[in-house]
Structure 1
C-alpha cells in the first residue's frame, strides 16, 4: 500500500494494541514472580489449559455447529496455533533460562521490523516513511532504556543460545501476525482463538506428561497461572487479533515496543524497582516513535490542501 493511500485509523482501534501490550507487560511481572514457584514449561501448558477450560463451555457447541465452515481451514488454524501460541511462547520460556531479560526485551523490539519485512514479502506492503522513522526512533528509545543510557553497550554483549531462540520465536510471531491478516479466515475471532488454544493444549500435553506433569499447581502459583491463562492467554490474543484486523500487522506490531516501558513502570510500583533518567528518556522516545507510525499521510495532505485553498 502506498503512502498516499494510507487509511484513516480511528482512535478506538489504536487502543486495542495498547491494552494488549499492558496485559502482556503485567504478565512479564507475573512471570518473574512465578520463577520460584512453577517451572516455565509447566506454566506454558497450564496457561492455555486454563483458557481452554473457560472457553469450552461457551465455544464448543458453536464450533460444532459451524464445523462445515471451519473444517476447510483447520490446517491454517493449526499453523496459526503452532506459530503464535506454542512455538513463540514456548521458545520465550526456554530462552529465559539461558539469556537475560534485557536481551529478550531488545530482541522483542525487533518484532515490528520482522513483521514489516514479512509483510512486504507476503502482503507486498510498502511501509510509509513515518512508519520507518517511527520504528527506528522507538528502537533507539529501547536502546536507551535497555542499555542504561548507552545503546552501543547492547551491541557489545555476547550472543547466547537463548538469544537465538528469541530471534527465531519473534520471526515466527511476525509470520503469525502476517498470516492472520493474509488469510482473513471466514470464521469469527472467538472460534479462531478457541481452536488455536486447543491446538496449543494438544501439542504441549505430551511434553508435560513426558516431564512427569511438570510443576504441580498449588496455593503459591495458582493465581499466577490464572492471570496468564485468562488475561495473557485469552483476552490479549483476541484483542491483538482485532488490532491486526483493523490496523494491519506492521502498525500493530510496533506497539510491542511499549512492553519494556510499561513493564518498567509496573515494576516500579509493584516490585519497588527504581526508575532512572534513561527509563524516562527511552520511554518518551519509544512513545514518540509509536505515535509517528500512526501519522495519516493522506489526512495531512488533505489538511494542507484545504489550508492552501483558504490562503489563496
Structure 2
C-alpha cells in the first residue's frame, strides 16, 4: 500500500476505534435505565468479551516466545490486569451512575497528563514547560466543566467525578507500569492476558456480592452488554492497535482528541444530554491541553 494511503487508512481506523470506544459511556448510561447496577453491566461486558480474549491469548501464545519472561513478570501482569482493566473499568462504571456520559469522557481524558506526573514522580522523567502548561490547561478545563455541572446537578456530581478520576489514575498507572512488560510478552498477548485477569476479577467480584444471578436481566440489558463488549471493547482495541502500527503512537495520541467530542455528540443524540456553553468551553480547554502534550511527543 502507498505510504500516504496507508497513513490515511490508519487515521480512518483510529478515528473509528476512538468513536467506538467513546460509545461505551453512552451505552452504559442506556443500560442504567433498566435498573441495573454498575458491577452487573461490567459483568456483562466482561462475560461477552471473555471468549474473544481467550481465543486471542491462544492465537498469540507463541508471540515473543524467545523473550526472557520470569515468574515475577507474570505476577506483575496479574497486578496490572487487576489495576488497569478491572479497577479502572469498575470506577468508571460506578462514576457513570452519578454523572453525564459527556462529562465522564472529559474527566477520563486527563489520563495522559497523569501519566506525565507519574513518570516524573516514579521514573524521574523531566516535564517540559509546554507539558506543564498542558497540565495546567487540562485541570483548569476540568474545573470549569465540573463546577458548572455541580451547580446544575448537585453534590452527587462530586462523587461521580471522584470515581471517574480514580479510573483515570488507575488507567494511567497501568500505562506507566506495564510499559516494560509489553515488549516481553508482545502487545496482543499482554493485552489478552491482562483482559483475562480483569474478567476473572469481575466474575469473582460479582459472585461475592450478587451470587452470580446472571439470568434475571431484561433482554435490552443483555443486548447492550453484548454491544459494549463487541463494539466498545474488543473491535476498537484491534482498530486502535492497527492504527498505531500504521501511523505511530504519537500521531494516534493527537487523534485521541476526538474522544470527548464524539462522546458529547453521541450523548446528545442518544441520551438527550446537553452541555452548557461553559462546559463546552471547559472541554475545549482540556482538548487543547492534551493536544499540546501529544504534539510535543510527535515532534
TM over 0.5: yes
Describe how 1:1-312 pairs up with structure 2 within 5 A: 20-37=17-34, 38-63=36-61, 72=71, 73-97=73-97, 99-101=98-100, 104=104, 107-148=107-148, 163-210=161-208, 211-216=210-215, 218-237=218-237, 247=249, 252=253, 259-274=259-274, 276-296=276-296
Unpaired stretches in structure 2, ≥5 consecutive residues: 1-6
Alpha-carbon distance between aligned partners in 2 of 1:214 and 1:284, rounded to the nearest angstrom? 43
What is the RMSD computed on CA atoms of the aligned residues?
Answer: 4.0
How far apart are the structure 1 equivalents of 2:142 and 2:162?
19
Which protein shows a greater Rg? Answer: 1
**Contact 1:190–1:238 (8 Å) recurs in 2:** no
Which one is further off, 168-177 or 267-276? Answer: 267-276
Note the C-alpha offset of 1:51.
Answer: 1.8
TM-score by length of structure 2 reads 0.73
Cα shift at 1:84:
1.0
C-alpha displacement of 1:206: 2.5
Gaps of 5+ in 1: 1-9, 300-312
Range that drifts further, 24-33 or 106-115 = 106-115
- Give the SS at the match of 1:125: coil
Give TM-score, length-normalised by structure 1.
0.71
**Distance between the aligned counterparts of 2:77 and 2:16, measured in 1?**
25
Closer, same or farther in 2 for the Cα pair 1:16/1:132, shift >3 Å?
Answer: farther
CA contact (8 A) 2:45 2:225 kept: yes
Q: How far does the alpha carbon of each residue in 1:191-250 deviate from its partner, in whole angstroms, 9 at most, with x for none?
A: 1111112111222222323312245354212331122212333244556678999547xx
Q: What is the alpha-carbon distance in structure 2 between the residues aligned to residue 12 and residue 137 of structure 1?
A: 32
The CA deviation at 1:81 is 0.7
Aligned residues: 283
The CA deviation at 1:88 is 1.2
CA displacement at 1:181 relative to structure 2:
2.0
Whole-angstrom distance in 2 between the partners of 1:268 and 1:135: 28
Q: Secondary structure at the match of 1:127?
A: coil
Cα 1:15–1:293, aligned 2, differ >3 Å: closer, same or farther?
farther
C-alpha displacement of 1:60: 1.6
C-alpha displacement at 1:174, in angstroms? Answer: 1.4
